[in-house]
Amino acid sequence: MNLRPLSMQSLMKSKYPLTLLTLSLISALLWECSFSSDQDCQVLNIYDGDTMTVQCQSSEKIKVRLYCIDSPEMQQAPWGKQARDHLRSITGSQVQLVAVEKDRYGRTVGELYQGSTNLNLQQVQAGQAAVYRQYCKKDQYFQAENQAKNARQGIWSTSGPHQAPWQWRKDNK
């Protein structure tokens, strides 16, 4: 399906301009509804320190990749399990999802909140995740990572490949 935006000029040149305009508007509305940026959700599964599945009001299951962070992979023992267990310990049965974008795997990338607590940021503050510099635009994450490093918390307590999960994945394909 071609989702390129249609210009008004191309709509008017088409054989059925009103039909195309109507279809374009309906498509845009459906996209917005399927990618609502602020939803209350039930937590179904926490896979690792930066990925979970939730079920939101729309009743669809959504796989969520936590924005701005990258936690060690589960195969990076014991760091991956520690990151997952920490996320499980700070996450209740309900979260608020603030979607940011979709990633190349179709997952929703977003920030998760437990009340006013940003769970993504909590993972970084606890030293259970590194800031995913390539994708993060928020200074608060970088500040939290520096504090965790200085305090030698979690992944920052000893050096190694667990501190850069993106590099570990690249090296272990």
Query: Which residues belong to the active site?
Result: 65, 73, 107
Determine contact, residues 69/130, Cβ cutoff 8 Å. yes
Determine contact, residues 74/46, Cβ cutoff 8 Å. no
Tokens 């996320």 sit at which residue? 87
What does the chain come to in residues? Answer: 173
Measured between alpha carbons, how far is 92 from 41 in angstroms, rounded to an integer? 11
Q: What dihedral angle (degrees, nearest 10) is formed by the CA atoms of 163, 53, 172, 139?
A: -30
Strand residue runs (E) in the chain: 38-48, 51-56, 61-66, 69-70, 94-102, 108-114, 117-118, 130-131
**What's phi and psi for 22, nearest 5 deg?**
-60, -45
Measured between alpha carbons, how far is 130 from 38 in angstroms, rounded to an integer? 25
